[in-house]
Structure 1
């Protein structure tokens, strides 16, 4: 395993951590960047397994909040409803992810042009939603009704297509269903935990017989980089969204989508 591969893994891990929790598609970014870097991972496992770093980042930042919710479960109905809501929101992606795993990894992950298209289209949609004069009815994730949680989970399934963005689809769906921007982003944080743990566990299980020591080494590099970058994003994102909305991310998606198409045209 050469030094260039480790350097590529480091860069891709940083990009994963920086983009996982913002609505720009971390998977789309690392697949597209990996394409231009010439980075190849066994069974496309690197791109999924380094998400563990981002998972630990959000668990670290939200540890006190998570502990408070867990401690309140026996006596607090709102806490129990919130946990059930997160599980309901996770359910659609769990079912579709298992059923479509092979198609996602073997077909969708191998199409840079598709990723550029979804980045571009998603950016335009996110910009449109950000400019709508929506009237929020739900401003606290602890008060989200169960039906709302489930429908947000259905929106999350759109992110099975790389470039759509897990956080982007859940946030866009939340806003259209009546939430405010800050709580939409926060619910996306909480929903990321079971979703990403599930994706990590299932992908590791499916590829357990093909991963090598070299694979483990570059995944570790990407994981550490993803964790460090993810901590910074999680700590600052909610305040940023409260001040600026989602338009900056929409413009970034459009820029990356267009730059990706230009790169594909020039270098293939």
Structure 2
């Protein structure tokens, strides 16, 4: 398989999994055991491609927030988005500077998938007993920021799953409200992560060694696929729970442990 075709497949996979609560990073790392390993820069930048897709989906919502800051509700919402992003940056940057790297085996990813799936089922059961609430509190904003850091440190956790279910557990019992807030927080989070990765690459003098054609193809594929997936998911969650994704996580994690017991 050519490197360009494998980059295309990875871009499609990223777009499919970034917004579903099944861990895009985990799926990329698993896929790269067969399609060939890629740099952290490649993985982060194609995630930014998926985030560009969500920017396009929510373009009207973003415009209404940007032009409606005179309204107190809009202003508070934007401030809470900023708080969640700052928490992620303040806590996550030291982790990155400490030399954290993605795992080279799938075993920790498999366990994160299983544990996360069980946790999702429990949270859904808890949220079903709570009254409908769609107001983002400051506590939810801070916890969403922390959840994004946890998901970044433990691939397989899923940034969207960790943040959405933390929001549902501590205040936003409505899945649609929690999903929208988490998706909007992801826009500055992933763009900042991509920018930081680019600066690191430039600082180390590795820009010339990166395969920009592969990165570009994967980026475009992630944008297109991510746009389609987000539009579908926003409709799906209006009438369904996330339980099906939880069972998928558990099944995939168990299969990885069963067929790759040594963590290959």
Mapped partners of 2:261, 2:109: distance in 1: 14
Aligned partner of residue 22 in structure 2, secondary structure: coil
TM-score, length basis structure 2: 0.91
Task: Choose the corresponding residue for 1:223, options 219, 226, 232.
Answer: 219
Unaligned runs of 5+ in 1: none
After superposition, residues 12-91 of structure 1 pair within 5 angstroms as 12-37=10-35, 39-42=36-39, 44-73=40-69, 75-91=70-86
Question: Any residues of structure 2 matched to 1:1-268 within 5 Å, and which?
Answer: 4-37=2-35, 39-42=36-39, 44-73=40-69, 75-101=70-96, 105-106=100-101, 108-132=102-126, 133-139=128-134, 143-160=135-152, 161-179=154-172, 180-208=174-202, 209-212=205-208, 215-265=211-261, 268=264
> After the TM superposition, which of the residue ranges 207-216 and 191-200 deviates more from structure 2?
207-216
Q: Structure 1 stretches (4+) deviating beyond 4 angstroms? A: 102-105
Residue 93 (structure 1) shift: 1.5
Contact 2:11 2:222 in 1 (8 A): yes
Could you state the TM-score of these two structures normalised by the residue count of structure 1? 0.90
CA contact (8 A) 2:14 2:50 kept: yes
Aligned length: 259
Report which stretch shifted further, 173-182 or 147-156. Answer: 147-156
Summarize the Cα distance change of 1:49–1:109 in structure 2 as closer, same or farther, 3 Å threshold: farther
Between the aligned partners of 1:54 and 1:178, the Cα distance in structure 2 is 27
Report the alpha carbon displacement of residue 72 of structure 1 after superposing the two structures with TM.
0.7
**Which secondary structure does the structure 2 equivalent of 1:265 belong to?**
coil
Secondary structure of 1:55's aligned partner? helix
Gaps of 5+ in 2: none
The range that moved more, 3-12 or 52-61, is 3-12
Q: For the residues of structure 1 that align with 2:195 and 2:263, how far apart are their CA atoms? A: 35
Structure 1 range deviating more: 61-70 or 129-138: 129-138
Q: 2 CA distance for matches of 1:163 and 1:35?
A: 15
Residues 107 and 263 in structure 2, CA contact (< 8 A), matched pair in contact too: no
Go from structure 1 to structure 2 and tell me whether the alpha carbon gap of 1:263 and 1:49 turns closer, same or farther (over 3 Å shift): farther
C-alpha distance in 1 between matches for 2:144 and 2:88: 11
Tell me if the contact between 1:135 and 1:178 (Cα under 8 Å) persists in the aligned partners.
Answer: no
Q: CA RMSD in A?
A: 1.9
Deviations 1:168-211 (A, max 9, x none): 11111011112111111111111111111111111111122213
1:12·1:30 contact (CA, 8 Å) conserved in 2?
yes
Q: Higher helix fraction: Structure 1 or Structure 2?
A: 1
